[in-house]
Chain A
Amino acid sequence: MTEHDENNRNFGKEGLRRMFATDIATDLAEGRVLELAEIYALDALSDAERAEIDNYIAAAPERPAFLERVRQSRETLATSFADEAEPPPGLLEDILRQLPQQPRSSQTGTASASSSVSEAPPTAATHVSPDVVDLAAERNRRDRRRFGGVRGWVAAAAAAAVIALGGVGVGVYVAGQNDPVNQVLQANDVRQATVDVNGGGTATVSISTSKNAVVVRMNGVPAPPAGKVYQMWLIPKDGSDPVSQGLMDAQALSHPAVVSGISSAAAIGITVEPVGGSKKPTLPTVAAAPLA
Chain B
Amino acid sequence: MDTPNVRGHEAPSLIAGSNAQLAELLGLMADGDRGAFSEFYRLTSRRVFGMAKRVLVDAGLSEDTTQEVFIQVWQNAGKFNPEAGSPLAWLMTITHRRAIDRVRSAQSATDREAKYGAASQLLDHDSVEEEATSRLEAESVTRCLATLTETQLESVRLAYYGGLTYREVAEQLGAAIPTIKSRIRDGLLRLKTCLGVS
Interface residues of A (CB under 8 A from B): 1, 3, 6-7, 9-10, 19-22, 27, 35-39, 41-46, 49, 67, 71-88, 91-92, 94-96, 98-103, 106-107, 109-111, 113-114, 122, 125, 127-130, 165-169, 171-175, 223, 250-251
Shortest CB distance B93–A (Å): 5
Q: Is the CB of B30 within 8 A of A73?
A: no
With A19-B178, A38-B188, A110-B31 as contacts: A86 and B11 at CB distance below 8 Å: yes
Q: Is the CB of A39 within 8 A of B81?
A: no
- Chain A residues in 8 Å Cβ range of B185: 20, 35-39
- Chain B residues in 8 Å Cβ range of A166: 68, 72, 94, 97-98, 101
User: In B1-22, which residues have CB < 8 Å from any A CB?
Assistant: 8, 11, 13-14, 16
Q: Is the CB of B86 within 8 A of A75?
A: yes
Q: Is the CB of A122 within 8 A of B78?
A: no
Q: Is the CB of B195 within 8 A of A76?
A: yes
With A80-B132, A81-B160, A106-B78 as contacts: A45 and B166 at CB distance below 8 Å: yes
Shortest CB distance B64–A (Å): 10
Determine the main DSSP class of A at the interface with B: loop
Q: Is the CB of A44 within 8 A of B169?
A: yes
A37, A76, A107 interface centre (most CB from chain B within 10 Å): A76
State in angstroms the CA–CA spacing of A114 and B33 once bound together: 13
Shortest CB distance A14–B (Å): 13
Partner of B50, one of A7, A84, A100: A84
State in angstroms the CA–CA spacing of A169 and B94 once bound together: 9
Interface membership of B181, Cβ < 8 A: yes
Q: Is the CB of A43 within 8 A of B94?
A: no
- Chain B residues in 8 Å Cβ range of A251: 101
User: In B109-147, which residues have CB < 8 Å from any A CB?
Assistant: 131-132, 134-135, 137, 141, 144-145
Q: Is the CB of B90 within 8 A of A38?
A: no
Shortest CB distance B6–A (Å): 10
State in angstroms the CA–CA spacing of A107 and B30 once bound together: 6
Determine the main DSSP class of B at the interface with A: helix
State in angstroms the CA–CA spacing of A42 and B159 once bound together: 7
State in angstroms the CA–CA spacing of A79 and B91 once bound together: 12
State in angstroms the CA–CA spacing of A104 and B66 once bound together: 25
Q: Is the CB of A79 within 8 A of B197?
A: yes
State in angstroms the CA–CA spacing of A94 and B45 once bound together: 13
State in angstroms the CA–CA spacing of A96 and B86 once bound together: 24
User: In B63-90, which residues have CB < 8 Å from any A CB?
Assistant: 63, 66-68, 70-72, 74-81, 83-86, 88-90
Q: Is the CB of B79 within 8 A of A128?
A: yes
- Chain A residues in 8 Å Cβ range of B61: none
Shortest CB distance A170–B (Å): 10
Interface membership of B107, Cβ < 8 A: no
State in angstroms the CA–CA spacing of A37 and B197 once bound together: 15
